[in-house]
Amino acid sequence: MKTYLVQPGSGIENMVFSEVPRPVLQPGKILIKMLSWSLNFRDLLVAGGHYGLGLPSPLTPVSDGVGEIVEANADLNGFKIGQRVAFSFFPDWQDGPINGKKIKRSLGGAEQGLLSEFIACSPSEIVGIPSFLTSEEAATLPCAALTAWNALFETSTNYPGKKILTMGCGGVSIFLIQFAKVEGCKVAAISRSTQHLDKLKKLGLDEGVNSSIDPKWGDTIRKSDFGEVDHAIELGGASSLPQTIKATRIGGEISLIGVLGGNDSEFNPVPIIMKSLRLQGIFVGSIDMFNRMNHAVEKNRIRPVIDKVFKFNDAHKAFAHMAKGNHFGKVCISV
């Protein structure tokens, strides 16, 4: 079968397309024929050597994918041959609060990823997908959507009228807007592009500020009709956190999810104390959360936004497209 392999640290541009033996099904395992994948910023970090040491090398990249069960050497746990399923980013985080043991294995990181024609796994590591979604759409759910879901509904309480701030037009941010609007929340976003903000408004965004022409966007949002934010989603990291804190109300909360702006800036934590903010790290989510999210996606008919789909043979082009950073929504690969 065909698979992609990369040496972490060598960069995604040095990923190779290889022929390897198809997995032999050990007892307790099932075989999935892969149909679609979606890419995350993390896949670039892993390939570039910016995602910790001691990763397998060579590594098959990509954490997010959907496939069809084609063979089983195990009890199927309620799944059926022919069923389309998605993989859990953390195969061992079934339920309950996060701990070190549950997140030791992560696909396309400490564990081999999914960018192969076939994957053998245990039935406990997969979830059924909402039936109305295409395979490409469902492949966007395991990391970006689940992270947004976890921040909004699992580690926080959502309520109609709650004011939420998000950043940019990538996977996490768009799912956040979609999920939050279904619950009747108000959402503001910053983006480096006015065109992106216009597109986000079509998805229900209430307030948008172009951060590339307004570096004091935190104050701008706070003083606007939108007003102070109850719950901010921090995707930029240390460089944007000071403005995020300015936008957030006293006693509000910030979910720390991403570091798109890098980690080089100095950060003063005093305003977090003075505003009595709750700062909560979010790391994707459990299989239980994934199932709850899928139920909401199915019930509310939420369709993931896809920027572009590439062919399996063109995975390099898909990564290069994402690395340019101009996408709106998810970049996918499909057989």
Q: Nearer Cβ to ligand NAP, position 109 or 130? A: 109
User: Which residue has the CB atom at the shortest distance from ligand NAP?
Assistant: 170
Nearest to 17 by CA among 63, 61, 47: 61
- Taking the complex as a whole, how short is the minimal distance between the CB of residue 19 and ligand NAP, in angstroms? 30
Q: Nearer Cβ to ligand NAP, position 110 or 259? A: 259
- Taking the complex as a whole, how short is the minimal distance between the CB of residue 164 and ligand NAP, in angstroms? 15
Q: Cα 149 vs. chain centroid, distance in angstroms?
A: 10
Give the number of other Cβ atoms within 10 Å of residue 22's Cβ.
12
- Taking the complex as a whole, how short is the minimal distance between the CB of residue 42 and ligand NAP, in angstroms? 5
Question: Is 29 in contact with 122 (CB distance < 8 Å)?
Answer: yes
Tokens 């061992």 belong to residue: 92
Q: Nearer Cβ to ligand NAP, position 3 or 218? A: 218
Question: Is 211 in contact with 190 (CB distance < 8 Å)?
Answer: yes
Nearest to 65 by CA among 34, 91, 95: 34
- Taking the complex as a whole, how short is the minimal distance between the CB of residue 169 and ligand NAP, in angstroms? 4
Q: Nearer Cβ to ligand NAP, position 83 or 239? A: 239
- Taking the complex as a whole, how short is the minimal distance between the CB of residue 72 and ligand NAP, in angstroms? 31
Q: Nearer Cβ to ligand NAP, position 244 or 294? A: 244
- Taking the complex as a whole, how short is the minimal distance between the CB of residue 78 and ligand NAP, in angstroms? 27
Partners of 255 in beta bridges: 233, 280
Query: ω before 58 within 30° of 0 (cis)?
Result: yes
Q: Nearer Cβ to ligand NAP, position 67 or 142? A: 142
Helix boundaries (H) for the chain: 41-47, 135-138, 146-149, 171-182, 194-202, 217-223, 241-247, 270-274, 287-300, 315-324
Structure tokens at 93: 């985080």
- Taking the complex as a whole, how short is the minimal distance between the CB of residue 248 and ligand NAP, in angstroms? 16
Question: Is 12 in contact with 319 (CB distance < 8 Å)?
Answer: yes
Q: Nearer Cβ to ligand NAP, position 34 or 176? A: 176
Residues in the chain: 335
- State the residues that interact with ligand NAP by CB under 6 A: 40-42, 143-144, 147, 167-173, 191-193, 196, 235-236, 240, 257-261, 282-284, 325, 327
